[in-house]
């Protein structure tokens, strides 16, 4: 699967791309992430990518011309042109069902905004799929793009060591059950012991205990959630 990230700050992605699961997936050619600096498509001596809003008001708006030209050029760099995602707090909220929809694409183009957003004509011309990662405002779409990549690559065949892991994740499938409590060594720390059942080795009892744990966590979390999150 290929991701193209369009940003004014490609260096933000450096550490993320070179660590852990994603680095291994890239090394094994399961995932390809290409970074593109929107400023490379800016015109003039000052390579201007943002300007003051018509009508006044605070902040700067990302200009339509470099953004549209960057997206079009990047889409033409490889086949297929890919699905264009605009990271914006005004977008549809990312959840596991959106992630499962995105992972079916061969290529995603992730357009990250900064400042007070994009000139509206970016949306009119390119008709991106606008996605938000939650109801709070970030300084830009870069962290949100990493969230999208991180969630989506878990579903790319071969990326996880154990092929079943993504399916077993909380929120996957219809159950949306939270996972059970996990423990590893030591068996006791500061008076907190690992539940006896996990040490006994009775697999039926362990499975029953875990199922009960998952149910309890899910119930507790539902009690804490607002209605629209259920």
Active site residues: 89, 116, 154, 169
Count Cβ atoms within 10 A of the Cβ of residue 169 and give its class: 0-12 exposed, 13-18 middle, 19 or more buried.
middle
Q: Which long-range contacts (CB under 8 A, 24 or more apart) does 119-123 make?
A: 119/61, 119/62, 119/63, 119/64, 119/67, 121/64, 121/68, 122/62, 122/64, 122/67, 122/68, 122/86, 123/86
Total number of residues that touch ligand 6GU (CB under 6 A): 12
Two tokens at 91? Answer: 């977008």
Answer for which of 137, 164, 190, 203 binds ligand 6GU (CB under 6 A) is: 137
Q: How far is the CB of 89 from ligand 6GU (least distance, A)?
A: 4
For the window 95-134, what string marks contact with ligand 6GU as x by the rule CB under 6 A?
Answer: -------------------------------------xxx
Torsion angle (degrees, nearest 10) of CA 84, 38, 18, 80: 30
**Toward ligand 6GU, which CB reaches closer, 27 or 101?**
101
- Scan residues 53-92 and list those touching ligand 6GU (CB under 6 A): 87-89
Q: How far is the CB of 138 from ligand 6GU (least distance, A)?
A: 3
| Interface residues toward ligand 6GU, by CB under 6 A | 87-89, 132-134, 136-138, 140-141, 144
């Amino acid at each position: 699967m290929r991701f193209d990230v369009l940003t004014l700050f490609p260096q933000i992605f450096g550490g993320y791309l070179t660590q852990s699961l994603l680095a291994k997936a890239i090394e094994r050619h399961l995932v390809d992430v290409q970074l593109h600096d929107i400023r490379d498509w800016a015109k003039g001596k000052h390579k201007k990518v943002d300007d003051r809003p018509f009508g006044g008001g605070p902040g700067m708006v990302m200009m339509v011309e470099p953004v549209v030209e960057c997206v079009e050029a990047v889409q033409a760099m490889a086949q297929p042109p890919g699905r264009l995602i605009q990271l914006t707090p005004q977008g549809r909220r990312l959840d596991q069902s959106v992630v499962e929809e995105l992972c079916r694409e061969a290529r995603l183009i992730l357009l990250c905004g900064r400042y007070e957003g994009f000139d509206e004509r970016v949306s009119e011309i390119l008709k991106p799929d606008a996605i938000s990662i939650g109801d709070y405002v970030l300084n830009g779409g870069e962290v949100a793009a990493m969230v999208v990549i991180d969630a989506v690559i878990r579903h790319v065949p071969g990326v996880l060591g154990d092929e079943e892991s993504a399916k077993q994740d909380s929120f996957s499938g219809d159950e949306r059950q939270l996972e059970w409590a996990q423990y590893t060594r030591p068996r006791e720390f500061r008076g907190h012991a690992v539940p006896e059942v996990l040490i006994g080795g009775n697999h039926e009892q362990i499975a029953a205990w875990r199922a009960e744990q998952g149910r309890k966590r899910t119930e507790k979390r539902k009690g804490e959630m607002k209605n629209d999150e259920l």
